[in-house]
Amino acid sequence: MKLTSPVFENNQLIPQKYTCDGENVNPPLQISEVPEGVKSLALIVIDPDAPAGVFTHWVLWNINPQTSLIEENSLPEGAVEGLNSFKKHSYGGPCPPSGTHHYHFRLYALDKKLDLASSSEKTEVEKAICGCFSEWVEIIGLYQRQ
């Protein structure tokens, strides 16, 4: 399975447009080589460099495994958006207080659809996918506020 973005390379800077200093919309993400038999995908975007610990920027699940592109500023049809650390059902772009932070976009291939309330956060999604994902990949983007 592969996860890439046409707007930033792995371990490279995320363009300002996709951060709190820009339009604060999700970057486009390309998905390919999803394994056979996968029933759904889940995406979790985190910043492990946050001062108070891991900060969740986006939580999505029940993404159709046929999805090849999550378009900029969009939610894949049928996907469920959980609560991020901003307590919103949306993408919350990078907005570090200082220094360069690493933003991990993690995609999980699941053998089932998740039956979770949309009020679920990262920890509930991680608990639900434990033991039901066959593979996961990530792309890491960097950002430092000017």
Q: How many other CB atoms are found less than 10 A from the CB of residue 116?
A: 19
136 band by pLDDT with thresholds 50, 70 and 90: very high
pLDDT of residue 134: 84
What CATH number has the domain bearing residue 109? 3.90.280.10
Rounded Cα distance between 102 and 138, Å, is 12
Q: Which residues contact 117 (CB under 8 A, 6 or more apart)?
A: none
Among candidates 126, 115, 43, 50, which has minimal Cα distance to 86? 50
* CB-based contact 103:47 (threshold 8 Å): yes
Cα 124 to the chain's mean position, in Å? 15
The reported pLDDT for the residue numbered 131 is: 84
Mean pLDDT, residues 118-142: 94
Per-residue model confidence as pLDDT tens digits over 70-79 = 999 999 999 9
* pLDDT 10s digits, 44-95: 999 999 999 999 999 999 999 999 999 999 999 999 999 999 999 999 999 9
Burial class (CB in 10 A: 0-12, 13-18, 19+), 117: exposed
Containing structural domain, residue 60: 2-143
Condensed to tens digits (0 to 9), the pLDDT of residues 15-48 reads 999 999 999 999 999 999 999 999 999 999 999 9
The total number of structural domains in the chain stands at 1
Average pLDDT score over residue span 122-128: 96
pLDDT bin (cut points 50, 70, 90) of residue 133 is confident
